[in-house]
Amino acid sequence: MSALPATMTCIEITKYGGPEVLVPTTRPVPQPRAGEILIKVAATAVNRPDIAQRQGNYAPPPGASDLPGLEASGTVAALGAGVTGWNLGDPICALTPGGSYAEYCIVPAPQCLPPPRGFDMLQAAALPENYFTVWHNLFERGQLKAGETVLIHGGASGIGTTAIQLAKSFGATVLTTVRTQEKADAVKALGADHAIIYKDNDWAAEVKKVSGGVDVVLDMVAGDYLPKNLSLLKLDGRCVVIAVQGGATATISAGFLMVNRLTLTGSTLRPQSVESKGRMARGLKEKVWPLLEAGRIKPIIYKTFPFTDAAGAHAELERADHVGKVMMTV
């Protein structure tokens, strides 16, 4: 491969605020340390935590790049000391600790995966953030099993479209909430058994009516949704909170939790250890990559922007009209 350039184009958050604070700039190309891989980025995506970071509500963890961007695809540009199993020029996709709104980014090697066979760079970049999140929360924390029923909020989001497909592939019955009839039709096409339009219905009553109760809830809303979610759980049910778009606080009954043997848990992905993310990557490669390669599930890509128009991509996601992922090419 040719020598690495000294500088790269990247997208900085110039100050906290709206999409307009995302501005292209030039920085030195980062150098991988021991155990890290430098990726020449081909594509990345916009995720809700990127918006939260831009607004000043989600600081990067210690040691992470201040540049936004939590996933990438591309090719291996350089290897840090001790990295094995990869060669320069190999195609790669990765869950990044930050920094993927750039021509080059650094990623710990355990968080990297080969793209599924037959996937192009855009499709590969649409995988890491959603698939790591859903695998960890729905299956590792939520312990969703074949024959169980799951309620997935935000069914038309990148997380939602991923969770619906994976839950169905592993034998669950899927209920989901969406904002419009158009989104309801889209998620049913992905396999959802019931799609409830939350703006037009008492969604909790509708869930109870069609299911009698659920085993697992994947909750990206929290706030006043949380006690309703708990009320819908069967005995030994599990509610997994992955975002707080409806607010970070709620009032729940500890007595109800105890009597019904419920589990209330949650997580954020970015601060977790490299070792934990490496475990997730191994699980995905073993259990989920074969489903992607067989065409049984797929990333849903809504719209693609050049990464130099990150502001436009953020504005698109914030309009909330999308079904699936908002992507950027580099």
Q: What is the pLDDT of residue 2?
A: 66
Contact indicator for 127, 133 with CB cutoff of 8 Å: no
Could you state, in order of their start, the residue ranges of all structural domains in the chain? 7-127+299-329, 131-266
254-277 confidence digits (pLDDT tens): 999 999 999 999 999 999 999 999
Backbone phi and psi for residue 88, each to the nearest 5 degrees, phi listed first: -55, 135
234-242: average pLDDT:
98
Best CA proximity match to 284, nearest among 97, 133, 132, 159: 132
Q: Which residues contact 246 (CB under 8 A, 6 or more apart)?
A: 221, 222, 223, 224, 225
Q: How confident is the model at residue 1 (pLDDT cuts 50, 70, 90)?
A: low
Given pLDDT bands bounded at 50, 70 and 90, which one contains residue 154? Answer: very high
User: 253 and 231 in contact (C-beta within 8 Å)?
Assistant: no
Fold of the 131-266 domain: Rossmann fold (3.40.50)
CATH superfamily of this structure's domain 7-127+299-329: Medium-chain alcohol dehydrogenases, catalytic domain (3.90.180.10)
- Exposure string of 182-200, with b = 16+ CB inside 10 Å and e = fewer, is ebbebbbebbbbbbbbbee
**Pairing status of strand 173-178 against strand 149-152:** parallel
What does DSSP say about strands 194-197 and 214-219: parallel, antiparallel, or unpaired? unpaired
* % the chain with pLDDT above 70: 99
CB atoms within 10 A of CB 212: 10
pLDDT in tens, 77-136: 999 999 999 999 999 999 999 999 999 999 999 999 999 999 999 999 999 999 999 999
Given a cut of 60, is residue 252 above it in pLDDT? yes
Residue 201's pLDDT is 79
**Residue 95 near residue 111 (C-beta atoms within 8 A):** yes
Confidence (pLDDT) at 199: 85
Nearest-angstrom CA–CA distance, 186 and 181: 9
230, amino acid identity: L
Position 19 scores a pLDDT of 98
CA distance 284 to 292: 10
The beta-strand segments (E) located in the chain are: 7-13, 22-28, 36-46, 71-79, 91-95, 104-108, 112-113, 149-152, 173-178, 194-197, 214-219, 233-241, 263-266, 301-306, 325-329
The per-residue pLDDT for range 31-70, each reduced to its tens digit, is 999 999 999 999 999 999 999 999 999 999 998 999 999 9
pLDDT score recorded for residue 186: 96
Pairing of strands 214-219, 233-241: parallel
pLDDT of residue 200: 78
- How many CA atoms lie less than 13 Å away from 164 in the CB half-sphere? 29
